Every structure is written in C-alpha cells, then in structure tokens.
Structure 1
Amino acid sequence: MRLGFWTPLPHIVQSEPAIEAAVQAASKRGLGQTDELLSFTRQAVKEAEAYGFDVTLVAERWLGPDHASWILATALACATSRMEIMVATHPGILAPQAVAKMGATLDRISGGRFSMNIVNGWWPEELNVFGNGAWLEDPGQRYKRMDEFVRAIRALWTEEAPLLQGEYFTLDGTELPLKPVRSPSPPIYAASRSEPGKNTIAEFCDCWFVEYDTDFRKYEGNLGKIRVDIAEMRDRAAKFGRTLQFGMSAHVICADDATDAVRQAVELEEYGARNRVALTSAKALGAGLLGTAETVAERIDTYAEIGIDLIMLRFHPTLDGLRRFGTEVMPKVRSLNRVPVDAVV
C-alpha cells in the first residue's frame, strides 16, 4: 500500500490559522511578498515526503482562494524529489489537448512523478464561470464528456496520430510533440458512483477511488461495502482486459483515546454542515481512521488487506496531525508490513 497526503488548501482542510492568514494575504494586491499559501503547502508537502508519504494530491477549486492546481503542483514538484504529484482537473474547463501538454510538461519537469485526478465537478457556477458556460444539467452528458476527455488525453499521450470524433472533443490526428516520461503514460485516478463513470474508469483509468458513507460511526459497514465494490470493479475492468488499483480518501484523527477522537470528529462534522465546500473536508471521516495510533494503524492495515492500494490522508491542524501520524502511526503501519520498507525514511 502507498500513503498519500492531500496538499492543504482552503477548501480541503478544516479552517486553521495558517490557511486563514494565507487566504487573507492572497486577497490583497501587493509586490515583494512571499506567498503564504505556497510557503505553507510547500512546508507541509516536504515534511510529508520526509515522513515517507508517496503521493500528494493537489486539488482544484476554481471558485475560491485556492491556487490553480497545475501551477501549484509545478512549484511542489520542484520542491520535492520523490513524491508523485497528482493534479486534479475538471473536464469542461480545460481542453484535453491543453491538459495533455501540461501533463507531459509536468511529467518531464518532475522526472516522471506526475499523475492526474479527474474531477467531473458538481458546482454549476464554477463550470459556468471558468468554463464559459460549460455546466451540463444532464448527468449522462457530463459523464459522456468525461469519457471523451479521458479518451482524448490517453490518445494524445500514447498515439502518434490520435483521432477522436466526439460530441465534445475532437482530435484530428495531430501528434503531441512533447512526450511524458512515464510509459505508456502517466496514471489517471478518478472517482465515480455512476455506471457510465465506472465504465470509463474501468476502461481508461488506472485507479478508482472507492466510495463510502460519510458517517465515521459506520466503519464496519463501510468496510464491507468497499470490499464488495472492489470485487465488482475488478470484474468490470477485467471485461476490458485491464486491472485497476484502488484508492480511498480519509481524514485521520489520532488521539490519546477514543473519546477525544470522537469529540474531534463531531467538531469536524459540525464544520462540514456549514456548506458544500466545507463538507469536502468532513466527508472523509467515513473511512473511520480515528482513535489511538494503534487503532489507526490497524485500520489502515485492514484496508490494505481488502485491496486498497493507496490512501490519501488529511489532518487537522495540518502540520500537528501530519507530525503525529508520521511519528506515532507510520512506524506501526510499517511494522505491519503493508507499507514497503523503502517507502519510509
């Protein structure tokens, strides 16, 4: 199993002083200042790499104070030496040709450490403002566009004369002159609950992020559901002659005892009830990674046992949680032999 770290961005983590200060600074014009969000994210990601995390996910939130994912990811790639840099992108805002070119560029700059996370989007205003009216009311059409988007990028990365005559995107055979380092192409991650979306992932993507109930009290039930869903997606991918990896997102609460962990989880639930954006940070509680260091490590090991290949983790406060995980949980996970020895420094 690999361990991933969510790059801490305003819409990803529960509000904390460092993020709030960075947002305030970013809302003001001025020269000669070090960007506070870049400084904070760079510090966090570098510490995560030192603890042995394998991947960082740079999420995208167009309507918000977050930095653009592609640009921030490039800065983080230059600040790290080993971590895979996973960049989120929305079909409908950027053309697949542009995404393929930027992806190949980042893969070369990072020495083959680039990957991509496809986010189909749920916020109409975001797609309309930044995609020039790109929101599609029909979910079926949104997934059709996602399917063409992924097909186009795969073709641009792997074919000499890529062709696609789709409803949303067209490739005329023009070759992408800049090639990625990774062969046959950088990996593509995605999450989807819809049948069309799952088919696209099974046929063209490399890793499916599993779904679960967001209630942390339902850990046992979520575990059973994830086990069934992994088996189903394996069968679905096999029909296309492919194999998939499986990932999940999780918020970690490592505490001295279960009572304190539950208290913190309830606080995060209340924070997530504020709005849809705040819910992003709270919904990852459903993985149930809360309790003592022993409990968290054992549950990570259980997820590895049922077939999870990658867990993307987030913490609050970010640095305190990351450091506690790195010093208390990581050695226990390593001792359970689910994380490769050379993945931990």
Structure 2
Amino acid sequence: MAQGDRLIMQLGFWTPLPHIVQAEPAIEKAVSDAARSGIVQPDRFLEFAIEAVTRAERCGFEVTLVAERWLGPDHASWILATALACATRTMEIMVAVHPGIITPQVVAKMGATLDRISGGRFSTNIVNGWWPEEMNVFGNGAWLPSGEERYRRMDEFVRAIRSLWTESEPRLDGRFFQLDGTALPLRPVQSPCPPIYAASRSDEGKDTIARSCDCWFAEYDTDFRLYEANLDKIRADIADMRERAARHGRTLRFGLSAHVITAADSADAVRQAEELEEYGRRDRVALTAAKSLGAGLMGTPETVASRIDTYAEIGIDLVMLRFHPTLDGLESFATNVMPLVTSLNRAKAGA
C-alpha cells in the first residue's frame, strides 16, 4: 500500500493451534495432554503458544491471529487470547469469532474487556463457518443451510458489534439479532472501535466487509503452482473491494494469509509444499493447514522476500504467516527473509 514514497507492510503470525499448523512434536504432545484429565501444570500448549507468539513479537511481528476450532482439542480462542495479551507488550491480538455460536452482545463486552486488558491491542476476525456439526453442537442448532441466510446473519452480527462499541443507544431490529438501545457498560480503548477483519468469497459477504469491516483477507486458489494467476486475481479483487468500500465512503485494508516455506533451492521448497499438500488430504481440518500454500510464499529467501514486496505493491497491507516447524520456520524467516523485504524496511525507515 502506498503512503507517500514508502510501502507499509505489517507482519502477522498465526498462533500455532492443532488445526492451523501441520503436526509437529510440541503440538502432538499438547493434544495428547488435552485428551486426558489430571495432567499436571504447566499446560504444554499454553507454554508453546506463549513461546511462539512472544518470539514472533521479538522478531518484529505485529499481529497474531488466534483461530477458533470448537470441535477439536484447541484451547478456546478468547481464553488463550487473554493469556497471550498478558504475555506480550506490543502484539495485536486478533480473536476469531463465529456468528451463531456467540452473540454480538457477548463479543462486544468480551472484546471491550480484552481491549482494556491489553491496552488497546484487541481485534476480531469474523468467521462465518463451514462445518455444520460444529455450528449445531456449539451453537445449539445454529447451522443455516442457506448461504444467503448465513451472510445475512454475519451482516447483522458485524453491524451489532460496531453499534455496541460506538453508539450510546445501539439499536438493531434484525432477523437474527436485536439491540434495544441498551448501552454497552464497558467501552474499548480504541476509537472509534477495535478493528474488524473478515474473509469472504461471496458477493453478500464482500458487501458486508466493504460496508462494516476494516480489513478483508484476500482469497486465492489453494494450489501453490498457480502463484501468478493468484496474484492477478488478488490484484483485481483488491480493486473491486476498494470500489465497494468507496460506495459507502470508506477505505479498507487488505490482508493475505500464507504458509511460508524457505529453502536452499526451489526443488526443496516444492518437496516441502507437496508434503503439506499430502497432509491436507487427510480431512477438511488438515486442509486448513495446507490451503495457505496458494499464496506462493515459497522458495529461496530472495524469492519469498520478492513475492512479499510484490504483494505490498498491489495493495496488501498485512501478511498473516504460518511456518513448519513453527519455531524453526519463524526464526529462519526472521533471519533470512525479513532483512530482504523492501516494504518492511522502508516502513521501518519511515517510522
């Protein structure tokens, strides 16, 4: 994103959760513990998550996304996010939220609380959901077969949260949610409100994001071999989303989720990518870890850095990254790639 004569690029880091990253020993041990009662503290997963996120913070990452997987051994996102907020000093803590499982009133209250606890470092990521069983079990029958209805619920959900955070008498008479003018008794630190992130492939979802959210996560084909085609698609989609937001007198920021593979040569990077592709074929949850290969951030450090700069040039403001193994990949990226990323170093020089 151009601002004056420099490019601004934020680095984000996915908090390593069992459904987010490819299986590795630290995660597997934590999952094994989580399945049994009577395990002595400290909690393995909390220790690993704090170590990973605080290390990312020291490396210069600015945002961490705490995803939510209700049907899984993952720690609950709000509770884990609060622990991470207390363990960090500068990191923005982005919490994933599923409309239908949790109400906007509760999100607004918990979000304001976390924003105050963290000193204004809270944000939220709206996830419309794809897993009927998860929505039904944890949302008490909340799955909606109609995509149109799911996006209508998402639209009301976001409007309700913003109203609760910004209005003294929030009102909404919706199909799914109602606000009767009762003010939120606790206000967030950030003004006008904490950032709201979201991703959507549908026109209805994109319109909601353009009208009411702050950052749209770009979409792409999951095949890492289609980097050039995905780049063209993202460039066109950014232009489209800018137009949608402008119709509401707004501007948007743009994010990109990516799995990063740095290797000595392209052949080794492809081998690692194919291994992750195979892992993603296990089931729909494992696919979550593999689908971010499509961003194409793989190859030598020079290739990865160049592609991050290219994304910055077409308008991406934030790259939300994951690595395997998590800690080794993070350190390799910080040491070998970050110094080469022009958009990062220009931002630092102009800060």
Identity of aligned residues (%): 75
Give the partner amino acid of 2:331: R
Query: Contact 2:15–2:67 at 8 Å: present in 1 too?
Result: yes
1:315 corresponding residue in structure 2? 323
2:139 corresponding residue in structure 1? 131
| In structure 2, distance between residues paired with 1:63 and 1:148 | 25
2:174 corresponding residue in structure 1? 166
Matches within 5 A, 1:325-344: 325-334=333-342, 337-341=345-349
CA-based RMSD of the aligned residues comes to 1.1
Query: Contact 1:88–1:117 at 8 Å: present in 2 too?
Result: yes
Deviations 1:72-130 (A, max 9, x none): 00000000000100000000001110000000000000000000000000000000000
Secondary structure at the residue paired with 2:145?
A: coil
Give the partner amino acid of 1:16: E
| In structure 1, distance between residues paired with 2:114 and 2:273 | 36
Query: Contact 1:333–1:339 at 8 Å: present in 2 too?
Result: no
Deviations 1:157-185 (A, max 9, x none): 00000000001000000000100000000
After TM superposition, the runs of 4+ consecutive aligned structure 1 residues lying more than 2 A away are 334-343
**Which among 266, 269, 272 is matched to residue 261 of structure 1?**
269
Matches within 5 A, 1:26-105: 26-30=34-38, 32-105=40-113
Deviations 1:303-333 (A, max 9, x none): 0000000000000000010010011111111
Matches within 5 A, 1:184-263: 184-263=192-271
Structure 1 position 225, deviation (Å)? 0.7
| In structure 1, distance between residues paired with 2:314 and 2:53 | 28
Secondary structure at the residue paired with 1:340?
A: helix
Unpaired runs of at least 5, structure 1: none
2:285 corresponding residue in structure 1? 277
1:12 corresponding residue in structure 2? 20
Q: TM-score, normalised by structure 1?
A: 0.98
Secondary structure at the residue paired with 2:341?
A: helix
| In structure 2, distance between residues paired with 1:336 and 1:162 | 40
Secondary structure at the residue paired with 2:306?
A: helix
Unpaired runs of at least 5, structure 2: 1-8
Give the partner amino acid of 1:292: T
Give the partner amino acid of 1:89: V
| In structure 2, distance between residues paired with 1:341 and 1:254 | 25
Structure 1 position 338, deviation (Å)? 4.8
Give the partner amino acid of 1:179: R
